[in-house]
Amino acid sequence: MGGFDDLALELEARKEQHLYRSRLITETAQGAEIGVDGRRYLNFCSNDYLGLANHPDVVASFQAAANVYGVGGGASHLVNGHSTAHHALEDALAEFTGRTRALLFSSGYMANLGVISALLSRGDAVFQDRLNHASLLDAGLLSGARFQRFRHADVADLSQRLASSEASRKLVVSDGVFSMDGDIAPLDELSSVAQQHDAWLMVDDAHGVACLGHGGRGSVDLFELDQQQVPVLMGTLGKGFGTSGAFVAGSEELIETLIQLARTYIYTTAMPPAVAAATLTSLKLVQADNWRREKLAALIKQFRTGAEQIGLQLMPSQTPIQPIVVGDAERAIQMSQALKTQGLLVTAIRPPTVPAGTARLRVTLSAAHNEKQVERLLNTLADLPVVDGSMPGNVS
Ligand SMILES: *Cc1c(COP(=O)(O)O)cnc(C)c1O
């Protein structure tokens, strides 16, 4: 084995294709404004949709719990890392989701890997929306089950695939809110088609919980779907909840099966108990503070109306994820850079995260923003220098 010449070539090729990824260094807490590399920016790229990541009550609960439990979880849940703080949060999440039980995972990525590979193996089949989150797709592949992708939000396509499957177990998997498009899955239809074909439905509601539904109960609440209709409900805590980790909610049998079989649950250290305690406080705020969702809805409306007026191409999204389709990866990067020069952070999302030719600026709104800040975003977008001879937002 020589050096890493191969890797260097591949990295160089990524740069040439404008697909190279690099990191910002954030120096402050999440919020409408953040400090990055010594400068203040208006933040339109975080998933802290309700502005809870730095909420004083959430921070205080975290600190108080650290005084009790220390910092580290110390061991996996099945050894002795499962604390009263974790347990109380699981009970509260079960009640919140209207499910029999809930189980905590250290991250959404791990929850998805753990659930799908615990439920399926060779001889089974998994059916995934094409635009599902990478963690779901990875989980499907890892499980060893037959892997099929159906056309985005296309229930007829799914139905056909289910009808022609002879797998012993069938699992249909969909994002509740699609992470890069912001649209909501047709969960009512997915649920009936899954039931018709004797398949389970799993919904990953990473971007729906906290933001949508009564008291922030998420996309399944919009469609009033219960545990029987959506037997596997997954939500994350690092987005709308403003903390970290994830949960899976469902029946006693589901949760006990995960405790026995989900490798990303068994073979990893429990999340810090203080994170669980902080999340319990954030869950109370999520449920009580309807004004956060109302404010968010008003900002979404303001942004969409303004963006349409300046001719930007939006996607059919009623959620805080408001992508502006640009098409070309290079152009998305240039626009993101131009916004950054003006003091605004908006991420450019490129393939392979999204399909080729659909690079976009992924604007995310938060209840932490105010009207003036959204106005500044719109004004800056309107004044962006012309790129490639076309106006921003026109897909050429
Ligand atoms: C962010 C996200 C995840 C991963 O959750 P983490 O807790 O960040 O690992 C899973 N699914 C979807 C749809 C997501 O957007």
- CATH for 347: 3.90.1150.10
Name the band, by pLDDT with cuts 50, 70 and 90, for residue 395: very low
Q: Is the same domain home to 265 and 302? A: no
- Active-site residues, by number, are 179, 207, 239
Burial class (CB in 10 A: 0-12, 13-18, 19+), 98: middle
Q: Is the same domain home to 205 and 264? A: yes
Q: Is residue 396 part of a domain?
A: no
pTM of the predicted structure, to 2 decimals: 0.95
Tens of pLDDT, residues 294-338: 999 999 999 999 999 999 999 999 999 999 999 999 999 999 999
How many whole angstroms from 232 Cα to the centroid of ligand 1? 16
Please identify, among 256, 288, 320, the residue that sits at the C-terminal boundary of a domain: 288
Q: Is residue 369 part of a domain?
A: yes
Q: Is residue 1 part of a domain?
A: no
Say yes or no: CB of residue 336 within 6 Å of ligand 1: no
Ligand 1: residue whose CA is nearest its atom 10: 108
Task: Tell me the CA distances in angstroms from 294 to 87, 235, 281, one per residue in order.
Answer: 31, 21, 20
Whether the CA torsion 86, 91, 96, 102 is positive or negative: it is positive
Rg over alpha carbons for the chain, rounded to the nearest Å, is 21
Q: Is residue 168 part of a domain?
A: yes
How many whole angstroms from 246 Cα to the centroid of ligand 1? 8
Q: Cβ distance 303 to 314 under 8 Å?
A: no
Q: Is residue 6 part of a domain?
A: no
Tell me the percentage of the chain whose pLDDT exceeds 90.
92
Say yes or no: CB of residue 238 within 6 Å of ligand 1: yes
How many whole angstroms from 46 Cα to the centroid of ligand 1? 13
Task: Tell me the CA distances in angstroms from 396 to 17, 60, 190, 351, 391, one per residue in order.
Answer: 18, 50, 34, 17, 10
Say yes or no: CB of residue 107 within 6 Å of ligand 1: yes
Say yes or no: CB of residue 176 within 6 Å of ligand 1: no
Q: How far apart are CA 298 and CA 280, in angstroms?
A: 27
Q: Is the same domain home to 282 and 298? A: no
The residue ranking higher by pLDDT, 2 or 362, is: 362
Q: Is the same domain home to 42 and 89? A: no
Q: Is the same domain home to 81 and 43? A: no
Q: Is residue 16 part of a domain?
A: no
Q: Is the same domain home to 259 and 140? A: yes
Please identify, among 253, 288, 323, the residue that sits at the C-terminal boundary of a domain: 288
DSSP state of 214: G
Q: Is the same domain home to 140 and 270? A: yes
Ligand 1: residue whose CA is nearest its atom 4: 108
CATH of the domain at 95: 3.40.640.10
pLDDT of residue 386: 56
Tens of pLDDT, residues 155-191: 999 999 999 999 999 999 999 999 999 999 999 999 9
Please identify, among 288, 306, 333, the residue that sits at the C-terminal boundary of a domain: 288
How many whole angstroms from 108 Cα to the centroid of ligand 1? 5
List residues bridging with 13 in a β-sheet.
none
How many whole angstroms from 111 Cα to the centroid of ligand 1? 9
One-letter amino acid for residue 240 of the chain: G
List residues bridging with 361 in a β-sheet.
324, 348
Q: What are phi and psi of 105, to 5 degrees?
A: -125, 160
Say yes or no: CB of residue 109 within 6 Å of ligand 1: yes
Q: What is the atom index within ligand 1 of the atom nearest the CA of 107?
A: 7
Q: Is the same domain home to 158 and 213? A: yes
Q: Residue 37 sits in which domain range?
A: 23-50+290-386
How many whole angstroms from 164 Cα to the centroid of ligand 1? 31
The rounded mean pLDDT for the chain is 95
Q: Cβ distance 105 to 111 under 8 Å?
A: yes
pLDDT of residue 2: 63
Name the band, by pLDDT with cuts 50, 70 and 90, for residue 22: confident
Q: Is residue 343 part of a domain?
A: yes
Q: Closest by alpha carbon to 167, among 195, 126, 201, 128? A: 126
Q: How far apart are CA 192 and CA 104, in angstroms?
A: 28
Q: Is the same domain home to 149 and 241? A: yes
Say yes or no: CB of residue 62 within 6 Å of ligand 1: no
pLDDT of residue 145: 98
Looking at 46-50, 158-162, 294-298, 389-393, which range is the least confident one?
Answer: 389-393
Out of 46, 109, 173, mutate this one to test ligand 1's pocket (max ligand atoms within 8 Å of CB): namely 109
Q: What is the atom index within ligand 1 of the atom nearest the CA of 176?
A: 13
Q: Is the same domain home to 317 and 341? A: yes
Q: What order of strands is seen across the sheet that includes strand 39-43?
A: 33-36, 39-43, 344-345
Mean pLDDT to the nearest integer, 286-301: 98
Q: Is residue 45 part of a domain?
A: yes
Tens of pLDDT, residues 179-238: 999 999 999 999 999 999 999 999 999 999 999 999 999 999 999 999 999 999 999 999
Q: Is the same domain home to 114 and 176? A: yes
Question: Is the pLDDT reported for residue 1 higher than 80?
Answer: no
Say yes or no: CB of residue 129 within 6 Å of ligand 1: no
Q: What are phi and psi of 211, to 5 degrees?
A: -90, -40
Q: Is the same domain home to 94 and 41? A: no
Say yes or no: CB of residue 204 within 6 Å of ligand 1: yes
Out of 130, 132, 173, 204, mutate this one to test ligand 1's pocket (max ligand atoms within 8 Å of CB): namely 204
How many whole angstroms from 136 Cα to the centroid of ligand 1? 9
Ligand 1: residue whose CA is nearest its atom 8: 108
Quote the number of domains for the chain: 2
Ligand 1: residue whose CA is nearest its atom 14: 206
Contacts of 152 (CB under 8 A, 6+ apart): 129, 130, 131, 178
Q: What is the atom index within ligand 1 of the atom nearest the CA of 207?
A: 15
Say yes or no: CB of residue 207 within 6 Å of ligand 1: yes
